[in-house]
Structure 1
Amino acid sequence: MRASDVISIGDLAARTGVAVSAIRFYEAKGLLHPYRNAGGQRRFLRSDIRRLSFILIAQQLGLSIEAIGIELAKLPDGRTPNAADWKRISKAMRVLLDARIAQLARTRDRLDDCIGCGCLSLASCALYNPEDRAAARGAGPRYVLGDEAPGEPVCRSGG
């Protein structure tokens, strides 16, 4: 490995605009894998600039650290990922993004009148979610998450 193939944590921070403390956090979470030089200092491959950029983009898209780690684990260690490597990641990311887009669209479409169990109106809850049927599907805003059962009306009461 040539000296020009590696950069210090400070150089990585300067190049990406990410604080050194955040880089150490991503390392602790297993998203980045620097090695230590003879003096014990962290050294990163130049390809870690792309990995860190991917982390930032994925976080902006709402992916968890765990989900980002799963995707990054598909990349090779010790070499710069090539176009085929990134294409594999991109394919998996499309599935995640499509699901996120669908969830955001449902939320947008129901935001004015349906959240949580299915509506903002306690009077309408008695009609559209009697005895809190949505709770049987799990925690959270079940209708917004897409758990609407066929034939089950969703409140459009407007509160």
Structure 2
Amino acid sequence: MKRAIFPGTFDPFTIGHYSVVRRALTFMDEIIIGIGINESKRTWFPTEKRVEMIQKLYADEPRIKVEAYDGLTVDFAQSRGAQFIIRGIRTVRDFEYEETIADINRKLAGVETILLFTEPELTSVSSTIVRELLQFGKDVSDFLPEGMEID
């Protein structure tokens, strides 16, 4: 069985994230969406709320699981028996950062990283921008997957 984790803060989970998961499901048997807990990051939604929103979104997809985790992503991958880490890439800067982390994860644990480039029409969508729009009371529904409920 090919199992991957798709790690991130997902504050919130955007149409870009949704696209990466949809595409990864074409070659993975199971994907665990891992919501990393990073106390130094200021988030809009509490961790439990992010887990709940993503679980609801994938309620009818048994190959998707959603969990929060604390610590190194590679340790989380190993603890779940994942052979792969899925990452989305929007820019060259993302690529350079992810390449370095992928090399370390492979050396530490033999876990491979699969990079999926963002679909061109989604390169401007980021959780940071969506959070800023939320902060100013703007409608963000165009940037969220259909069915994603933000309260």
* TM-score, length basis structure 1: 0.23
- Higher-Rg structure is 1
The structure with higher relative contact order (CA 8 Å, sep 6+) is: 2
* TM-score, length basis structure 2: 0.24
Give the helix-richer structure, 1 or 2.
Answer: 1
Give the strand-richer structure, 1 or 2.
Answer: 2
